[in-house]
Structure 1
Amino acid sequence: MAKIFSFGFWNSVARLILRNRIIILLLIIATTVFLSTQWKNMRFSYTEANLLPDDHEDNIAYNEFLDKFGEEGNLVLLGVKDSTLFKPENFRAWKELTKTLEAYPAVDYAISVSNLQQLKKFEEPSRFEMVPFISEENPTEEELQQYQDELYNELPFYENLVYSSHSNTLQSAIYLNKEIVNSKERKTFVIDELQPLIANFEERTGIDVKVSGMPYIRTLNSQNIIDEIGLFILAALGVTSLIFFFFFRSIRATIISMITVCIGVMWAFGVIGLFNYEITVLTALIPPLIIVIGIPNCIFLINKYQQEIKKHGNQAKSLQRVITKVGNATLMTNITTASGFATFILTDSTLLKEFGIVASINIVAIFILSLLIIPIIYSYMNLPRRKHLKHLNKRWIGGFVGWMEQMVRHRRISIYITSIILLVASIIGIYTIKISGSLLEDMPEEAEFFQDIKFFEEEFDGVMPLEILVDTKRKNGVLKPATLKRMEELEDHLAEIPEFSQPISITRLVKYSKQAFYNGDSQYYQLPSSQEQNFIMPYAKGFSSNENLLTSYIDSTGRYARITTYMKDVGTDKMEELEQDLWPKINKIFPEERYEISMTGKAFIFQKGTNYLVKNLIISLSLAILLIALFMAWMFRSFRMIIVSLVPNLLPLLVTAGMMGFLGVPIKPSTILVFSIAFGISVDDTIHFLAKYRQELKANNWKIKRSVYAALRETGVSMFYTSIVLFFGFSVFMISSFGGTVALGGLVSATLLFAMLANLLLLPSLLLSLEKNIANKEVLKEPAMRIIETDEDEAEIEKEESKNSER
């Protein structure tokens, strides 16, 4: 037996805790205060989670793009589909709104119908200049109507920039300062400045303004995450405290448990701050997770304390035995749960690593807090009254346990048939699972900003930027006629794809230059020939130094160009199809020996990251299974017992995966967590059952059936209690407005429910059916660690306590 985990060891731990109560409480308070000072280091994520490792080729390409052109997702769009915008009073209000926005330090510049610039040709000297499209300060309604007609018919340069090619919808493009796009200042601008201005405009004019663009979407999405953290914590506290009170009918036991988990939540936030991690959609789940996982610890400890009080009425002895007898069991269950989360640390994804580190540390921390706080607080309180112990005699759960026993005793074949049917159906469902890498899929569909996204997808063909970087491999290679023609050919191809918007690149400015050279005639909006370029060049000299929208689409050396198109919300499968169709066309247009082309952008990287995470899911789940199998091998020292114990824990995972396929829930960053989390938690029940089963075998002289039924009766109640807490605790996440979080909560809850039934029906059935191969002294050797005390341990504890009293 491993001495460190013997009951003698836990006896020493109990004495240490109870003899140093004041010091331990002071240490807990000091640690809590210290970790609370780290809250200031917490910061909410202001960008999408980068799911790829830093050294991944797609990440390297994206970072190279950012080095050349800066942050690409800096565009906020204001859309209006209302003809009354061109009424003089409404147009003045729109013009004022644009001017006000341009005055903010967060805004680099804005392009709107009210401040459009038109490219004009001038002589003596020969030059191009940008002049106001609307020159009058207060145009009349007739003049505004004329300008509207000119905009749609004579300025193709602004198509899909200011007006929609599908309808008369207009938009203003607000380009944010790239330095603040991924910072707190972005939130200040969007929430405190932009939204009130738009609300004021809508109130003045009665015109509905749609708002979108990646900075706006990300800001409101991050704000939703922030708002939901508090909601989750309150909901988790409320649900678990109600269930706890229902079980124990004791206000003080409920309060003690809530204090314990609240300190655990404070520590969780402190650990996030201590490591300087961002609060993402994943790390935001950790505080309520700590509550849900911590409450079962409190149930085990308080229930054992009350059982000991009822048994002999000695408080000191009861508190010591709580730690001595429950220490191993709670430690092992928390370690297996933490192991499920810790496997994410071994992945190459920074997002999952941070989640795994914080979750596993805090699961161990909540175990330590429970083991320290509950016995110490109870040591300062009076003995529980008789009414507080009544729940120990309740028999309402007996019917459920009795049904389980009857099923195992008389319906084992039915259990096996049902399990096989579920397995086959699950495998069929698994083959229908889809992978989703959509940036928008998990966002709250009822939110106004999500509806606005759909508006811009319909009118402007998308809001998520996809970037194509063109490397000409030579200085000023972009402006060569051959390169421009190749870029235009690719842009024409992109424009024909329904999922992409009209692309934007330097070719627009070059075509607009030719139109301006021919005095603004829109039929000349096309790339100039080599001869025309010679005529146009004298007019274009010096123009590149002027501020213009498209100067950011070619780098300072003229070697690199970017083509930007905006995507609709397509999933990973569709994006892979589009990518496979695009590359042959790209390679044909741009010969590899002369050009180097890369595809990048936030949406593209996110989708690549989702595929990468699916591979990591398989790795992390396999590691979790291996780690827990090794752990159980060390505890039970039996390979056959490992196989038997894994079956009822893997089947619920397969059932859940099958459900995802049938219900159309895709594999995505939020749902891939389900399997490792659920496996790490559900295996706790298996450990409890097998530990009790082995103890009963020794007590019943290796009589299989008697031992199985005794273990089932003994552990069935505690499994039911903890499963109910976990089921409703994880169900809390279903109140989220994020689809991924809802799926996570529902799937984990369902998996844990299946796992409870599998451990109470399938596991005992397997033990009974395989009794000749499993239930013998050679297979079930003396365990490396005792989880549940035996009569010998009880005698050892009594002996140890008598020695201590003599001292």
Structure 2
Amino acid sequence: MTNLSILKKVCIVLFIVLGVASASILGDLKFSFDFSQFFPEEDPDLEFYMEFVDEFGTDDNFLLIAVENQPTIFDQEFLERFKAFSAASQKFEFVTESASLTSLSYPLKTSLGYTTLPIVHIQDSLAYKQDWEKIKEDGLFINFLIEQKANSTVVALRTQDDLDYKQSERLLAQIRTSLKNHKLSNYHILGRAFFLEAIVEMQKSEVLKTSIIAAILVLIILLLVYRSLPLVLISMASISLSLIIFMGILALWGKELNAMAAFYPVLMLIVGTSDVIHVTDSFIRKIQSGKNRYAAIQSSLKEVGLTTLLTSVTTAIGFTTLLSSRLVSIQEFGINAAIGVLVAYITVIFFTGSLLISIPKKKLLGRKSISKRWVNYLLEINTFTKKNPRSILIGTAVFTGLCLWGISLISTNYEFKRTLPNKSEIASDFEYFQTNYAGFRPLEVAVMAQGNYSVLDFSVVLEIEKLMDHLKTYPSIGNLQSSNLPFKIVHKANNLNKSEFLTLPEKEPTFESYKRDVQRLARRQLERFVNTDRTMARINGKLQDIGTDSLKSVYQKIESFALTQLDTSKIKVKVTGKSMLLDKNSEYIRASLLEGLFYGLLLIGIIMVLVFRNFKMFIISLIPNILPILFAGSVLGFLNIPLEASLSVVFAIVFGIAVDDTIHFLGKYKLGITQGLTQEESLEKTFAHTGRALVITTIILFFGFMVMLFSIHQPSITIGLIISVTLVTALILDLLLLPVLIRKMLKEE
């Protein structure tokens, strides 16, 4: 006892020190959001895109500020304020280029050379109608720099590549201050910096909110279950400490928390609570039977310590199955969650165990620590399984069939707007640009000259124009620009700025003569679309958020057109860009999901065989744990929820946690058999002793994940809902199906 007393004090002091140290560095936690986190690794399209970026830079380095004015922007006082803001934007930090209707102009070729004409004659309100007619005739700025009803106009900023969170905050602060100074209050912003700011702010809010709500929820449930304040405080202290230590490890490790970070507090709280309940329930039962605290903790750790370790390992394995994903963000979530599970286990075993033996017996026990009604209800369930095995098996078969049907309905046509915080400024602005402009998703098409051709050869330019004409036929594509645009503008300038001449010249000599003018007047613009050795050109535009499957169909049609309708001896065409790479996720989610779950089942199977030394036990454990995964998939299908990257964690969480109940159930059953009990006696003991803990932990898991319904992040709401109902299903299967399978497959000799 003396050794245990010393160890108890050492453990308590050690974990308190670790907790304080972890809490002191929580301020160093980093939050980030980068679309590249969702790119599939080791993908040939990703490799091509990285080469494309080396040539042209990233395709999301833009920020659009749309300013509304009713009934029209063609109001002199408004245009003067807007022009002043547009001019000021050119000096914003991290901005490399600024464009608007008030800063751009039409070039015009005269007998004296080139001159420019304003797009909007701000000082001459009588010319506004003619200016607007000219803009509509050209069509160049519609849905790009001006809305088609002239209710708003845009300042388009090009920023430095890959701004981080702090840089984005500084830039947006300058923009908002300038808008306020110029009395432009009705505005909408869209772009990478704005997304980064909004998503990171959401992550911080979600982590804090879910932590508080989940902690309150666990506290209430524990009070209702144990009716003992010291016992509840011990449990909450242990769970909270494990969460703090885990977050401290992430901070010390320098890990950047992405959009999945909101799940960490919930996972740690509910997984830690599950471990605490199993250990505490066993400990209370021992001291109620008359054992002293030290003997009770030793007996409890021997009885449930191994199964709790086993459940922690299998849960961690469930999360490590996410390593099979090609998405970095999902891989990191899997690793971090697995570490968190093990941190929770170590904290519960050493810290909770130490606290339990530090509190007098009378203070630990509540008025009704273990109700006899629990035992009676659970034994009735056992009796039901004994009397109705055939009905349960038939019901399971029907349930499996329904799940398979639901899985067949799963869609991957995911819309980007679902990732945005509900009813937020960014969601509102995103919808505004979707409705009134060409959208947000960038489209990039790489055009590669073949053989000795250059992308500025006239015959190649004509092929590019054919492709441009084809792209304009897609309703989901807008704001198209290419290396041909500077030549069209020069051609128009050489023809009295008439809109009908905003085309390529018909003859090659004319085109060749324009090259010198383009190099002199629009070289910077041309360099954005053509690489230095003239072997590659880009076409870029904007895509409507019509769903990943629909967009993949568009990409395929574009490349098919290029192969069949263009001269492939001169050019090769490839769709690329961040949007296309994000849309490729769905191709890998199903495959990586199945691959990861297969390896997870294999590893857990090996562990189960080694622990129980009975292959039939592995088969028995497998069935109730595959069905919840099928059920989770069927929920997606029946509710028409598209499968996307973040939802893939549902299956790892369900798989990792659902198997815990099975292990606790089979572990208790095996213990009864080794103690000489008959099969029925072992099942009765398992229901009476372990069944209660399983029900309580599932209740906590259910409400713990339901906390995600308070989220403003739609994928988090979906994940919380699916996991909650699926884990209840897993418990029902364990309590009803496991006893039937045990009786059928492990018949007593």
Same fold (TM over 0.5): yes
Equivalence for 1:768: 743
- After superposition, where does 1:499-510 map in structure 2 within 5 Å? 499-510=476-487
- Summarize deviations over 1:435-475 as a string: whole Å, max 9, x none: 24543323234223223222222222321001011122578
- Specify which of 433, 436, 441 is matched with residue 459 of structure 1: 436
Equivalence for 2:671: 695
- After superposition, where does 1:358-369 map in structure 2 within 5 Å? 358-369=336-347
Contact 2:451 2:570 in 1 (8 A): no
- Summarize deviations over 1:296-337 as a string: whole Å, max 9, x none: 122223333333333326333334444343321221121111
Contact 1:719 1:756 in 2 (8 A): yes
Give secondary structure in 2 for the equivalent of 1:385. helix
Residue 65, structure 1, aligned to residue 52, structure 2: yes
- Specify which of 178, 187, 202 is matched with residue 160 of structure 2: 178
Contact 1:48 1:218 in 2 (8 A): no
Give secondary structure in 1 for the equivalent of 2:537. strand
Equivalence for 2:126: 142
Deviates more, 1:282-291 or 1:240-249: 282-291
- In structure 2, relative to structure 1, the CA distance for the partners of 1:599 and 1:42 (3 Å cut) is farther
Equivalence for 1:160: 143
Deviates more, 1:15-24 or 1:237-246: 15-24
- Summarize deviations over 1:325-351 as a string: whole Å, max 9, x none: 332122112111111112223444322
- Specify which of 105, 116, 121 is matched with residue 117 of structure 1: 105
Give secondary structure in 1 for the equivalent of 2:367. helix
Contact 2:22 2:248 in 1 (8 A): yes
Give secondary structure in 1 for the equivalent of 2:659. helix
Structure 2 counterpart of 1:414, one-letter code:
S
Equivalence for 1:86: 74
Give secondary structure in 2 for the equivalent of 1:570. coil
Give secondary structure in 1 for the equivalent of 2:416. coil
Contact 2:40 2:581 in 1 (8 A): no
Contact 1:645 1:686 in 2 (8 A): yes
**Alpha-carbon shift at residue 714 of structure 1 (Å):** 2.7
- In structure 2, relative to structure 1, the CA distance for the partners of 1:489 and 1:182 (3 Å cut) is farther
Structure 2 counterpart of 1:85, one-letter code:
I
> 1-side partners of 2:433 and 2:108: how far apart?
31
Contact 2:559 2:573 in 1 (8 A): no
Deviates more, 1:617-626 or 1:281-290: 281-290
Structure 2 unaligned runs (5+)?
A: none
Give secondary structure in 2 for the equivalent of 1:163. coil
Structure 2 counterpart of 1:604, one-letter code:
M
- Specify which of 591, 595, 600 is matched with residue 624 of structure 1: 600
Equivalence for 1:133: 119
- Summarize deviations over 1:117-164 as a string: whole Å, max 9, x none: 22222444x4x455643466xx253344443333333x4433333134
**Alpha-carbon shift at residue 581 of structure 1 (Å):** 1.7
Structure 1 counterpart of 2:103, one-letter code:
N
> 2-side partners of 1:100 and 1:475: how far apart?
45
Give secondary structure in 1 for the equivalent of 2:378. helix
Structure 1 unaligned runs (5+)?
A: 1-13, 777-807
**Alpha-carbon shift at residue 667 of structure 1 (Å):** 1.6
**Alpha-carbon shift at residue 275 of structure 1 (Å):** 3.3
- Specify which of 538, 552, 570 is matched with residue 528 of structure 2: 552
Equivalence for 2:537: 561
Residue 413, structure 1, aligned to residue 399, structure 2: no
- In structure 2, relative to structure 1, the CA distance for the partners of 1:438 and 1:215 (3 Å cut) is farther
Structure 1 counterpart of 2:540, one-letter code:
T
Give secondary structure in 2 for the equivalent of 1:158. coil
- Summarize deviations over 1:605-631 as a string: whole Å, max 9, x none: 111123223211111111111111111
Contact 2:73 2:151 in 1 (8 A): no
**Alpha-carbon shift at residue 234 of structure 1 (Å):** 1.0
Equivalence for 1:394: 371
**Alpha-carbon shift at residue 230 of structure 1 (Å):** 0.8
Equivalence for 1:803: none
Contact 1:337 1:684 in 2 (8 A): yes
- TM-score, normalised via structure 1 length: 0.87
**Alpha-carbon shift at residue 231 of structure 1 (Å):** 0.9
Q: How many equivalent residue pairs?
A: 747
- Specify which of 399, 403, 423 is matched with residue 426 of structure 1: 403
> 2-side partners of 1:768 and 1:20: how far apart?
43
Contact 1:51 1:610 in 2 (8 A): no
Residue 256, structure 1, aligned to residue 243, structure 2: no
**Alpha-carbon shift at residue 476 of structure 1 (Å):** 8.3
Equivalence for 1:634: 610
> 2-side partners of 1:557 and 1:82: how far apart?
48
Deviates more, 1:209-218 or 1:26-35: 26-35
> 2-side partners of 1:226 and 1:577: how far apart?
36
**Alpha-carbon shift at residue 657 of structure 1 (Å):** 1.5
Contact 2:168 2:196 in 1 (8 A): no
**Alpha-carbon shift at residue 226 of structure 1 (Å):** 2.1
> 2-side partners of 1:44 and 1:146: how far apart?
50
Equivalence for 2:15: 28
**Alpha-carbon shift at residue 169 of structure 1 (Å):** 4.5
Equivalence for 1:805: none
- TM-score, normalised via structure 2 length: 0.93
Residue 228, structure 1, aligned to residue 206, structure 2: yes
- Summarize deviations over 1:580-614 as a string: whole Å, max 9, x none: 22222112344444333321111111111232232
Give secondary structure in 1 for the equivalent of 2:208. helix
Contact 2:134 2:499 in 1 (8 A): no
Give secondary structure in 1 for the equivalent of 2:464. helix
Give secondary structure in 1 for the equivalent of 2:546. coil
- In structure 2, relative to structure 1, the CA distance for the partners of 1:536 and 1:607 (3 Å cut) is closer
> 1-side partners of 2:313 and 2:248: how far apart?
21
Structure 1 counterpart of 2:134, one-letter code:
E
Structure 1 counterpart of 2:99, one-letter code:
I
- After superposition, where does 1:610-759 map in structure 2 within 5 Å? 610-699=586-675, 703-759=678-734
Give secondary structure in 2 for the equivalent of 1:553. coil
- After superposition, where does 1:262-341 map in structure 2 within 5 Å? 262-312=240-290, 314-341=292-319
> 1-side partners of 2:552 and 2:656: how far apart?
33
Structure 2 counterpart of 1:150, one-letter code:
K
Contact 1:77 1:173 in 2 (8 A): yes
> 1-side partners of 2:165 and 2:457: how far apart?
38
Identical columns (%): 23
> 2-side partners of 1:454 and 1:463: how far apart?
10
Residue 46, structure 1, aligned to residue 33, structure 2: yes
Equivalence for 1:792: none
Give secondary structure in 2 for the equivalent of 1:83. coil
Contact 1:430 1:661 in 2 (8 A): yes
Give me the CA root mean square deviation. Answer: 2.7
Equivalence for 1:788: none
Contact 2:73 2:153 in 1 (8 A): no
- Specify which of 171, 175, 187 is matched with residue 209 of structure 1: 187
> 1-side partners of 2:2 and 2:742: how far apart?
38
**Alpha-carbon shift at residue 763 of structure 1 (Å):** 0.9
- After superposition, where does 1:465-480 map in structure 2 within 5 Å? 465-473=442-450, 477-480=454-457
**Alpha-carbon shift at residue 761 of structure 1 (Å):** 0.3
- In structure 2, relative to structure 1, the CA distance for the partners of 1:488 and 1:222 (3 Å cut) is farther
> 2-side partners of 1:540 and 1:611: how far apart?
42
- Summarize deviations over 1:537-586 as a string: whole Å, max 9, x none: 454452244x54x5412223332211012111132321232222222211
- Specify which of 216, 235, 250 is matched with residue 238 of structure 1: 216
Contact 1:51 1:351 in 2 (8 A): yes
> 1-side partners of 2:575 and 2:687: how far apart?
58
> 2-side partners of 1:499 and 1:156: how far apart?
17
Contact 2:445 2:574 in 1 (8 A): yes
> 1-side partners of 2:529 and 2:639: how far apart?
44
> 2-side partners of 1:73 and 1:83: how far apart?
31
- Summarize deviations over 1:666-713 as a string: whole Å, max 9, x none: 221122111221112111111122222233335555x43343333223
> 2-side partners of 1:578 and 1:290: how far apart?
42
